[in-house]
Structure 1
């Protein structure tokens, strides 16, 4: 392993809204700097990112590059071949590995070739990659995302027009088709018609305008649904304290970071049974997996009507996050990978 101290340029496709890549890269950059490493974050959303990238690569400040989302990395590798002069780490974040078909993996081939290491969030994704290309065995590293949730003042139900005594189902997600907010609405609507305590609290930015408009129009007719828009990550824990259950209904997922954050506070989960969510919880222990709106209805009804079980599952969820998604461990594993990559590049 190299004794050279890593100096890392982190490249993220997004940074303007509270979404997975944004939070992951900020968290890792902060963790690295707290460990005394040089680390800086560059977003491809910056209008002058190409100028900044050229300046960073020529500055001599960095001895390696860590990019998030392989599809975006492949594009900038073709336009900035000087990236290949640096040890390169690629984290596949979900949308770049979940899309079906050979076309997407074909687009990732330059990344597979150039990267010293490829980071994925769990073993399912590693196995998927290796089934496609077994020669990647030595390159693929599994590093679960760590949970680093800032504390914030607890919010009150009445802050959002929610009656005291409600059972609040949290849905922290951006509004875009892959997040399948319709599944949450379809599953909870019959339960809300049966029990007036049911409330769905949706928080997150509108990412896809067409889908966002569809959801906002739909919930106008659903008085038990509250949409509060995007919430700062520094304030989100205060909203999570309102939750009795957290949900992730995605059709494809890298790792359900927001759901894990709520789980860390003792909130049980209802997760769609898709790669990225699968294998996080044990069905019936920390929450439930669902595939259909009927599944969601049944899981939600159990958690609504059995508060003691809900509390027990929430405690199990908090223990799971503490044991498996440790922030300190995440940063340590990244530093180890960086040092290995620097050692490989010198030989």
Structure 2
């Protein structure tokens, strides 16, 4: 089957990684899957021309609003994969919520990554009962990568020997919903007491205004460093060498960074929100925190070997 797959494909973001992973799964079972950036289309009419020209037989969209709205009225069957933003954020806006409800009514099926995400969707759109299915993301096999840790430390402007250095990595695009500043102050205070402890924020500059705010704040926070986006392979290598992966988002669908850290057997320290709690079992597969000070307490607990 020839499938059109729509997603927002900003480089080195969770959406792009998830979309590529789903495409690979579809192609592995024999389908032809053409992945397109939803932001490249200004209207459903423009998308209809592509569907006709490429003779697509079905379509799939990641995110009910950003991708799904473009599929309304198309002459091929389509399905929807919920993200975090559509359920957690876009439903707060009346027009978007109404559009998403209409898309969901037209879709043949919808996929949620977790039970809690499905429940949230059904609370908003009860008419979708019977067409929402649960499927965990899964992860791709991690490649073996040669990576120079000292080069990374230099790039992060950490002028210390790698010996006895404790790096906590927070991976996210710089936008408010990811709340990368949530732990900045407490980690900076900890660094002043223990100079070998650092938090490094890694990710693309998604929101220019918020990015400027983050940069200004980080400049004043000793022990907190900011790095831009980087290739996925390098990011995996950094995760393998760091002390723990941190997530401080206000909302998540299913964090690819957390899943990949688990696969790499790296400790996970995550903010206690529904999307994170759906995949992190406290004190078994990671640690969940609801306050910055608790977050650094758990980080110290990890550092001390869980004692």
Q: State the partner residue of 1:66.
A: 60
Q: State the partner residue of 2:38.
A: 44
Q: What's the offset of the Cα at 1:191?
A: 1.7
Equivalent pairs counted in the alignment come to: 298
What is the rounded CA distance, in whole Å, between the counterparts of 1:105 and 1:263 in structure 2?
33
Structure with greater helix share of residues: 1
What is the rounded CA distance, in whole Å, between the counterparts of 1:74 and 1:227 in structure 2?
34
Q: State the partner residue of 1:155.
A: 148
1:98 to 79, 88, 93: 88
Unmatched segments (≥5 aa) in structure 1: 1-5, 311-347
- CA deviation digits over 1:237-277, x for unaligned, max 9? 11112211101100011111112212211111111111211
Q: State the partner residue of 1:8.
A: 3
Within-5 A mapping of 1:1-347: 6-12=1-7, 14-46=8-40, 53-59=47-53, 61-77=55-71, 81=73, 83=74, 85-99=75-89, 101=92, 103=94, 104-148=96-140, 149-161=142-154, 162=158, 163=160, 164=162, 165-304=164-303, 306-307=304-305, 309=306
What is the rounded CA distance, in whole Å, between the counterparts of 1:240 and 1:126 in structure 2?
30
Large movers: runs of 4+ above 3 Å: 47-52
**Closer, same or farther in 2 for the Cα pair 1:73/1:241, shift >3 Å?**
closer
**Closer, same or farther in 2 for the Cα pair 1:155/1:141, shift >3 Å?**
farther
Q: What's the offset of the Cα at 1:142?
A: 0.8
Q: What TM-score comes out, normalization by structure 1 length? A: 0.79
SS at match of 1:39: strand
**Closer, same or farther in 2 for the Cα pair 1:238/1:101, shift >3 Å?**
closer
- CA deviation digits over 1:48-70, x for unaligned, max 9? 88787334311363211101111
What is the rounded CA distance, in whole Å, between the counterparts of 1:284 and 1:146 in structure 2?
21
Q: State the partner residue of 1:333.
A: none
- CA deviation digits over 1:2-37, x for unaligned, max 9? xxxx3211011x223211221111111122223321
What is the rounded CA distance, in whole Å, between the counterparts of 2:165 and 2:151 in structure 1?
11
**Closer, same or farther in 2 for the Cα pair 1:187/1:107, shift >3 Å?**
farther
Q: What's the offset of the Cα at 1:198?
A: 0.5
**Structure 1, 60-69 or 241-250: larger mean CA deviation:** 60-69
What is the rounded CA distance, in whole Å, between the counterparts of 1:201 and 1:102 in structure 2?
33
